[in-house]
Structure formats: C-alpha cells, structure tokens
Structure 1
Amino acid sequence: MVSLTPGQKASISPEAADFLAKVKHLPLANYISSFVTMPGQVPKIRQGMAEKMEPGEAALIEKHNLKTTDIAIAGVPVILIEPPAIKPEKQNKILLNLYGGAFIMGSARDRCALTMAVELGVRVYSVDYAKSPEAKYPKARDQVLAVYTELIKRGPPGGSPISPSDIFCMGSSSGGQLIVSMLLLAKRKGLPMPTGGLYLCTPAMDLTGAGDSMVSNSDRDIMPVSLLMGMVSQNYPAPGLDLKDPLYSPIYADYDSSFPPTVITTGTRDFALSHGVRFYWKLREAGVKVELLIGEGMWHGFNWDPLIPESIQTRAAVVKFLEAGL
C-alpha cells in the first residue's frame, strides 16, 4: 500500500491524502508482474478497469449534461463528446483526445476527456483506438493519424475540414506516446501541425524503461512500475522492434519550433515524472513553447480526478495555457 508520513500529508490536500490512503498495491507485485500482465490476463485486467471507471464516467456525463455520440472517422471508432454550451469564440475549436491505459485498456470516454469538454468548453473527438495485444504497435498510432488526416482534409461526418489552428490535442499516459508519435509521423508526411496546443497528462515518453523516477517512484505511485512495464512490454511492441525508435519512444526523437505549444502535467509521485521532465527540456531546447506543471505529492494520472483540489488547480492552469493561443 502507499504510505504517507505526517510531513507528506502536510503538503497535500486532505482529499489527496484520503485518496492515497485507500490505494492498495498487489502483494508481491514485483515478483509476479510478468505473469499477471501476460496477454492471456489482459481481458481480466480490462474488465477490472472498466468496472472501476465506468460509474465515475457515467456520473460526469450526467452531472455536466454532456452528449456523447459514437461515430467513425476514417473508419476508426471515435466518441464525440459535446458540452451543453460552447462560447462563440470556440465554436470551431475541437480537442482530439487519446486516453491512457498502458495500450491494453481504457475508454474513449475517459474522465480526462469528459472534464476537459466541460472546462475547456469544446467538442472532444476521443479516438477509440485498437488495443494491444490484439493490435501491436504501430496499429493504434496509424489509426490516430488517419483520424487527424481526415479531420483536417475532409472534416468529421457531416462537417467541413477543420483548420489545424483550431485543433487542440491531448494524450494521457500511453495516450501521450500515441499523440506525439502521430504528430512526428504527420510531420514526416508533410501534414500541418495542430497549432491550437498539446496537453500531455503524465505522459509515457520513453518505453525503454529508462528514467530516475521509474526507480524512485516505483513503490510510491498508485501502481507498481513492474506491473505497468509488464503490461506494455508483453503486449504492445511488435517482435524485434528497437525500443529506442523515436516513433515508439518519442523522447528520442528530434524536435524543432514547429512542434505545437505543449503543456505537460506530472506529479512528484508519478512513475513517469522523469518522462515529463526530460520531454520538457527536449522541447524547450528545440524552441517550442512548453510549460511543465508538477503536482506536489501527486501520482500517475492524478489530473483525471474531478474533485481533488490539486487536480482542479492543474486543469485550470492547462486551460489557461491552451486558451492563451486563442
């Protein structure tokens, strides 16, 4: 389980402390991770995550009167999430969302997409990409590229082409890898970048397992690193793939100032803290407008929580960053 000293509790909100106090790690996780994350175990993992997340997602949809519609773009399943009201200056703006879940689980109507539909106040196109192990890399990334290409060239069903300047992008955890990999490939193909801005929530940028926080936060985050790495390594990469391929681990790619303005959120307990810090410096040195928001005592994916004060504060700062370009 996650433990907190009095000093650690003193620096975070009571709500965050209560959340962490309820977290229980799988016993002997570091010893059994290779077994419990093998492909045959994935259906059970998915079911458990869905049962845990679906009530909260449904509650957010009802609370904020959100409209969700299943559509297809370029043959790829997408969920359109619409807030009840959109300000005139945001009528043409959209958010392209890639949810997290170690590439093997998760929902296109994840809480991050739902809360941002309300707080940013735009239509969200959340891609329900193919999951692993059924779909190995780069299947999901290529689906995301197909959706992005369709949106800027032909538009959504019944609509018109969307200007790249009107597109915000968001990726959470593994979704961060997917969205950045897609943008790198899009640039190679000569497609324009979505200059509205990019929001990376506790992103997974280095799938080799490198990074100080991968060790220092292994038992401090809400899930042991060995389990998360097992989910990815045993299910996502195609055989023989170089894990440092810059499209697979975007931390190793080259960037320039044409990359979208980017805001990165992470926390001091996040196993992927090193990913966010390293990617921040990578973009900063390339001349990209970038901001790094680190939550004190926060964990992987903390930004998804609709009620924890630190999560609300972080999302408000993200919205301010994205709206600065309007």
Structure 2
Amino acid sequence: MGASEALSAANGVAEAVLLRAAMGLPESVQARLAGRPVVLDGQRLAPETQLMLRLQRLARLPGAETLPIAEGRAAVAHHAGLAAGQQPIGAVRDFPVGDLPARLYTPTDVSGPTPLLVFFHGGGFMYGDLESHDAPCRVLAEQARVRVLAIDYRMGPEDPFPAAYDDALAAYEWAVVNAESLGCDPQRLAVGGDSAGGNLAAGVALEAARRGWPLAFQLLVYPATDCDRQTRSFDMFGEGFYLTRAFMDLANECYIPAGHDLHDPRLSPLFADIPDGVAPAFVATAGFDPLRDEGEAYAHKLTDAGADVELRRYPDQIHGFFNIVGVGRRSPAAVHEIAAKLGDALRG
C-alpha cells in the first residue's frame, strides 16, 4: 500500500468512527447538534438522519452525481460502507447466474429448503453492486430466515436500457429453474430491490404473472416507478436529502437512450398494465424521498388491480435508509421491520 492509499484508508476509518459515534448519541443530543428541526409535508426528519446530512455538508463531501462515473461509483460504495457495520450471516457464496455475478446469502442455523429472495440493488442503473448492498442483504437473510440471491446486473452508460431489465428477467428465470439446487423451495420465491432495484423487481413480478412463473411475494423498497417524475415529492425533496434531482437526471441520461419513451412500462412500471395474478407486495417508501410519490402511486395501482399490497411509509427517513443498518437506531429499525415483513410473507 502506497502513502496515498494509506492516508485514504486512515481517513476512511476516522470518518467511520465519527459517524458511528454521532449516530450513537442520545437522540436529544443529536437533535441539538443537528440544528433546527426539519419539518416538511407534516413530517419531521429523524434527528439522527438530519445530523448525518449535516456532517456530510460540513465535510464538503461531493454528491456522487457531481463526479465522473467511476468516481461516483466509488463514492456510493464508500457511503454504503460507512453505514454498513458488521452484519452476521451464516454463509456467503459468490457464483455466476448465467453471465451475471451473483451472491447467495444463507442465514445461520437453517436446515432443509428455505424461501428465496432474488434481490436487485439500487443505484440509478449506474451505481451499486454486490458490495454496496452486502450489509442489507445480510440483514434480510438473517432476520427473515430466507436465502437471498443478490444479482449484479448490467448498468449504464456502458449498457443502457433494456440491459438491466433483460438481466433481471433472465436472473429470476434462472432462480426458478435452479431453486432446489440452491436449497430453496421453488414455491416460496420472492423478488425484491431498492430504488432502481425496486423498479427491476416490479418489472419481474409483472412478467412472472404473464409467463406463469412461480412468485409468492415482491418486496419493493422506495421503488423508482416513473422515469418522467412529475410529482410533488420530486419537487419538494429534490435537494438536501441525499438523493437529488441532478442524480436522477444523470440516471436517466446514463441508462435511457435519447428519445426513448419515458412511459415505456419496462422503464416505468407505473404505466404498465397489471396482469391477473400478480404477486402480493410490500412497498416501503421514505417521507423525505423524491421518489416517494411514484412508489406510493404504484402501490395504489397494484391495489386497484386487485393485488394484495401493504404500503408502509417511513415518514422520518430519506432515500438510502435501506443501506443504513450498522449505525444509528431509526434506520436500522426500519430495515429490520422490512425484513420481518419478508419473513412473515414467505414463512408465515
């Protein structure tokens, strides 16, 4: 390791220690340090989240969307690592799913066939990988007592639409065929993801109903469902709450070919026709998230089509809370609740 790499590593350790200490303070202290309470749309931002955002501003950390793609990817991975902590897991195994890298998480002390969640990470179709979402996948597997198969799909700008969509369908079909060899029950399969991954999971669930693939449940965490984004939440929370309007504009630019219809249902599930027999869904949204309204609109559309849907808004959270499992209290508690919903749906 050279001098610059050693300095960078030392700075990363110091940053992680500071964040962990700040997020571990009593909430009353966090509230004082965070500043005046942030109240919008009848919601109050969690003091620990407000403090985390303030520390980010004080450190003058650039948003990933302001950097070249490679550096932005590194920044997203760094942010995820800071909030990950050390999450227990029974076993982890990497292997290819077709041509795609994948990682299988097996919870501690399981025997016999388990349910399986096929998981797609978020990141605007341009950021994220198996490492960025390793920690929340561990939490889902351990807390829900299911195996989790995380998929590393192709992304823009190198591989624009429909690459990620096609990869998601192919990966889920592979899981259906190979479920038993993974130690899983083919009748208790689920698909899930956060943000862009929630978009892909929603698309898989729709296509599974059309093709007759077995699918017991879909887990959609603040899913991106409308690439046009003419929503109140996008206007209200597009600056200052981690996910920005500029980030989403760059995501569209990197992934969607110029001139392509933003209402293509493979891009924007909100404009899809909902087939009969679509799997039950748990849809989680965050109060201070630009994508809040489109995620909730999709939950309502599924409900109107006759699907069994539970919609849960975490009103004090921001986009990205799903990755915050190793620091603080409120964000990890929300992720544990999401994991419990998954377990109840597949094991109940």
Q: TM-score over 0.5 for the alignment? A: yes
C-alpha spacing 1:316/1:149, structure 2 compared with 1 (3 Å): same
Tell me how far apart the structure 2 counterparts of residues 159 and 313 of structure 1 sit (CA, whole Å). Answer: 29
1:8: Cα distance to partner? 4.1
Amino acid at match of 1:136: P
Q: Which residue of 2 aligns with 1:103?
A: 125
1:26: Cα distance to partner? 11
Please say if residues 186 and 192 of structure 1, whose CA atoms lie closer than 8 Å, have aligned partners that are also in contact: yes
1:116 aligns with 2:136: no
1:234 aligns with 2:253: yes
Please say if residues 13 and 309 of structure 1, whose CA atoms lie closer than 8 Å, have aligned partners that are also in contact: no
Q: Which residue of 1 aligns with 2:99?
A: 75
* 1:169 equivalent among 177, 181, 191: 191
Q: Which runs of 5+ in 2 are unaligned?
A: 1-33
* 1:194 equivalent among 208, 215, 221: 215
1:1-326 equivalence runs, <5 A = 5-6=36-37, 8=39, 11=44, 13-24=46-57, 36=66, 41-54=68-81, 56-57=83-84, 59-60=85-86, 63-86=87-110, 91-109=113-131, 110=133, 111-155=135-179, 158-159=181-182, 162-163=185-186, 165-188=187-210, 190-195=211-216, 197-226=217-246, 228-306=247-325, 307-325=327-345, 326=348
1:141: Cα distance to partner? 1.5
1:316: Cα distance to partner? 3.7
Amino acid at match of 2:191: C
1:183: Cα distance to partner? 2.7
C-alpha spacing 1:115/1:322, structure 2 compared with 1 (3 Å): closer
1:11: Cα distance to partner? 4.7
Query: TM-score by structure 2 length?
Result: 0.78
1:304: Cα distance to partner? 2.4
Query: TM-score by structure 1 length?
Result: 0.83
Please say if residues 213 and 270 of structure 1, whose CA atoms lie closer than 8 Å, have aligned partners that are also in contact: yes
Give the secondary structure class of the aligned counterpart of 2:56: coil
Amino acid at match of 2:317: M
Tell me how far apart the structure 2 counterparts of residues 302 and 53 of structure 1 sit (CA, whole Å). Answer: 10
Could you report, residue by residue, the CA deviation over 1:138-177 in whole angstroms, capped at 9, with x for unpaired residues? 1122112112112212447x547851x3112211011011
Tell me how far apart the structure 1 counterparts of residues 332 and 175 of structure 2 sit (CA, whole Å). Answer: 30
Please say if residues 176 and 214 of structure 2, whose CA atoms lie closer than 8 Å, have aligned partners that are also in contact: no
Could you report, residue by residue, the CA deviation over 1:246-282 in whole angstroms, capped at 9, with x for unpaired residues? 1110011121451111111112111111112211211
Amino acid at match of 1:16: T
Tell me how far apart the structure 1 counterparts of residues 166 and 284 of structure 2 sit (CA, whole Å). Answer: 25
Please say if residues 97 and 171 of structure 2, whose CA atoms lie closer than 8 Å, have aligned partners that are also in contact: yes
Tell me how far apart the structure 2 counterparts of residues 11 and 213 of structure 1 sit (CA, whole Å). Answer: 15
Tell me how far apart the structure 1 counterparts of residues 83 and 244 of structure 2 sit (CA, whole Å). Answer: 23
Q: Which runs of 5+ in 1 are unaligned?
A: none
Q: CA RMSD in A?
A: 2.9
C-alpha spacing 1:155/1:18, structure 2 compared with 1 (3 Å): same
Tell me how far apart the structure 1 counterparts of residues 90 and 114 of structure 2 sit (CA, whole Å). Answer: 18
C-alpha spacing 1:255/1:274, structure 2 compared with 1 (3 Å): same
Please say if residues 209 and 229 of structure 1, whose CA atoms lie closer than 8 Å, have aligned partners that are also in contact: no
1:81: Cα distance to partner? 1.8
Count of matched residue pairs: 306
1:217: Cα distance to partner? 0.9
Q: Structure 1 vs Structure 2: percent identity of aligned residues?
A: 23
Please say if residues 141 and 179 of structure 1, whose CA atoms lie closer than 8 Å, have aligned partners that are also in contact: no
C-alpha spacing 1:107/1:261, structure 2 compared with 1 (3 Å): same
Q: Which residue of 1 aligns with 2:17?
A: none
